Amino acid sequence: MGTLFAWALVAGRLARWSITAPVAMTAAGVALTVGPHPLVRITLTTTDAERAVEIILAVLLFTDATQVPAGVVRGQRRLLTRLLAVALPLTLVAGTLAGALLFPSGGWWLAALFAAVTVPVDLAPAAELIRDARVPAWLRGVLTVESGLNDGIVAPVFLLCLAAVEAHGGAPESVGESLADAVSALLWAVLAGVLVGRPGGLLLRGAWRAGWTGPAAVRLGILALPLGAYGLALVLDGNGFIAAFTAGLFFTPAARALPPQTLHLVEDVGTLLSLALWFVFGELVTQAFTGDFDGRVVAYAVLSLTVVRAGPVLLGLVGSGLDRADRLLLAWLGPRGPASIVFGLLAFIALAQDDPHDADLVGQVMTMTVLMSLVLHGLTYGPLSTRYARARERLTASRAEP
């Protein structure tokens, strides 16, 4: 809390050096958990830790779903289809191939789990870009929608891969049973999300229009929806954070009739929870570099942030009509953040007892990928925006010439 408060005092000045809140909280997590006698000890391999991480992801996924601008989706639906329906699956395939190439002994399911953990895009390491006027509003909107939806789309893939890795040491029948259980959990989660999100949105909208409630009460009601969807999914033996994401998608149409400020509470809670997650990530960094570190993890992280992201995006944008500068910017801006941290933590917790080697490997892959993204994307968004703006000026000038 002291770190968060100190950052809040000088956030504007630190932004000039690309020192964002995630960077500050990660640094604090490293500083306070390093050494044989750390000031803070965090136990991650417990059921309570797993529930806490899932609840954080539930709120974040619900918030992502509600922040999807309807105008951008309608205006850029072809481009978004290329990114989410073409480039995203290709990215998962490329990440799986990279994992199988670097870690052949782990098998295909573990390689697919690496991809599911590291593929989701989150703009937290380069959040200032979304407010940078040098980048066109439509392009910032596309990046916002992509980052808001792709983690929810990847979440079912992550659950299936994790179930398969957990049962990988058993007979093929056990793998099939685990996958069937994961699919059942997904279906129940979708049902729970629909049952909470759609009626919740309609009831809040109706109560607001009838004058039965006020802004503060509506803010609390909205915050109750992702937590309610999470709880209902657990009762139905479904997945809680998938339910929260589904609830956000079905709540959003009704939410557009509510005043914008009514969403601020759930957004601020999501931001606060994500900052706590970045602090925990700092502890993961200290763990990754104090244990048996596998050097191949660095190679995987580099590939994940470059070739695995850029190749499929550029391929998916072939024939899109976008200028070269637009395509390159979309290909490069694939920062990793809270979604990858949560997926990595959930995989680590699930595998820690039965297969500690795979658990450590997943944790190291996630940690190195997010850490490198924090540095690369956090430090490059400013110079990249400048170069992009210059390229757009040159293109506009060349088109204006007779």
pLDDT tens for 389-400 read 777 777 666 655
pTM of the entire predicted model? 0.84
CB contact set of 373 (below 8 Å; sequence gap of 6+):
125, 305, 334, 335, 336, 337
Q: Tens digits of per-residue pLDDT, 237-266? A: 888 888 998 898 889 888 888 887 888 888
CB atoms within 10 A of CB 62: 34
Q: How far apart are CA 88 and CA 150, in angstroms?
A: 8
Least reliable range by pLDDT among 131-135, 198-202, 326-330: 131-135
Q: How far apart are CA 391 and CA 398, in angstroms?
A: 11
Break the chain into its structural domains and give their ranges: 47-396
Which one has a higher pLDDT value, 110 or 71?
Answer: 110
Q: How far apart are CA 121 and CA 176, in angstroms?
A: 29
Whether the predicted pLDDT of 131 surpasses 70: no
Which one has a higher pLDDT value, 168 or 29?
Answer: 29
pLDDT classification of 171: cutoffs 50, 70, 90? very low
Whether the predicted pLDDT of 299 surpasses 90: yes
pLDDT at 231: 93
Q: How far apart are CA 208 and CA 216, in angstroms?
A: 11
CATH class of the 47-396 domain in this structure: mainly alpha
CB contact set of 137 (below 8 Å; sequence gap of 6+):
none
Q: Look up tokens 């630190």; give the residue.
A: 14
pLDDT at 156: 86
Whether the predicted pLDDT of 382 surpasses 70: no
pLDDT at 203: 93
pLDDT classification of 18: cutoffs 50, 70, 90? low
CB 193 within 8 Å of CB 225: no
* Backbone φ, ψ for residue 239 (5° rounding): -95, 125
pLDDT, average across residues 290-303: 84
pLDDT at 291: 67
Q: Tens digits of per-residue pLDDT, 82-130? A: 988 899 999 999 999 999 999 988 888 899 999 999 998 887 666 666 6
Q: Tens digits of per-residue pLDDT, 341-351? A: 888 888 888 88
pLDDT at 293: 74
Q: Which two tokens stand for residue 350?
A: 């699930």
Radius of gyration of the chain (CA): 21
pLDDT at 75: 76
Q: Which two tokens stand for residue 369?
A: 């990928």
